[in-house]
Amino acid sequence: RVLFLVIPGNPGIVNFYRTFMHKLYKALNQLYPVWAVSHAGHCVPPPSIEITKESEQEALEDVYGLNGQIAHKIVFIRKYVPKNVKLVLIGHSIGCYIILKMMKQEPSLRVLRAVLLFPTIERMAQSPQGKLMTPVLCRLRYVIYVPVYMLSFLPESVKTFIVRFVLQGMQNIDEASLSASLCLFNVNCLANAMYMASQEMVQVVDRDSSVIKEQLKKFIFYYGASDKWCPLQYYEDMKMEFSDGDIRLCEKGIRHAFVLDASKQMAAMIVDWLCKDLLNL
């Protein structure tokens, strides 16, 4: 009757969320399935999966762009989720923006709850991290492709060493995140992720307050206290505009990229937030 569906951030590689999904499923006493859908083109499909081309009518326009990724998720739900199933949507970062657009464009979705974690739903280019990354993503990203292409020929063990070296300052790093990071040595996956991110900087400007207002009771917003993608001012603006909304500020020091080291903590909190909704089913 209920499906938990995770819409990832960028890069939209589901393996980053593997531990989080496992912990969430266990915390739900294995009563509800927990799915996730990667962003199109952000990961290399396993060799066992046969890739089939869609017909021209089914093909999505600019599927690797931000709007195409929104349509990609709607098509996934239409194709694989039975219509009588209620959805608990969990978005992370740009996945929160995608969920807002999904709910607006597909009002027939049976959304029980939408949990938006570290939501980049407005003014991305104006955020501290956005100011730093916008020039790289919009004008300089092509420069990165050549060295990544060269690195892609390295043995897996060397790539793993590079990832561990880059992340060495983080304690308790999740092993699933290490393996997921290896996808970014594939130049096509990296290019698709950076192309989508460049569109985020341009398109994610004004918050879509209309869909939030219409379905406010379905949303839980969770902001980071020191998040450089959605700073404290964005949280305060949300609290001011939607005083009756469930809008929370992290008090546990969890980073924006929570999947790196706080998956268990986040899963436990979400189950605690939703326990009453699930008991009333």
Bond preceding residue 11 cis, omega within 30 of 0: yes
Residue 32 is inside which H or E element, if any? none
- Catalytic residue flag (residue 256): yes
- Catalytic residue flag (residue 92): no
Q: How far apart are CA 134 and CA 140, in angstroms?
A: 9
- Catalytic residue flag (residue 108): no
| Backbone phi and psi for residue 49, each to the nearest 5 degrees, phi listed first | -90, 125
29 Rama class: left (phi>0) / alpha (psi -120 to 50) / beta: left
53 to 50, 57, 59, 69, 279: CA distances (angstroms): 10, 11, 8, 17, 42
Q: How far apart are CA 269 and CA 216, in angstroms?
A: 20
3-state secondary structure of 110: coil
Measured in residues, the chain has a length of 281
The active-site residue out of 93, 127, 181, 198 is: 93
Residue positions annotated with a catalytic role: 93, 227, 256
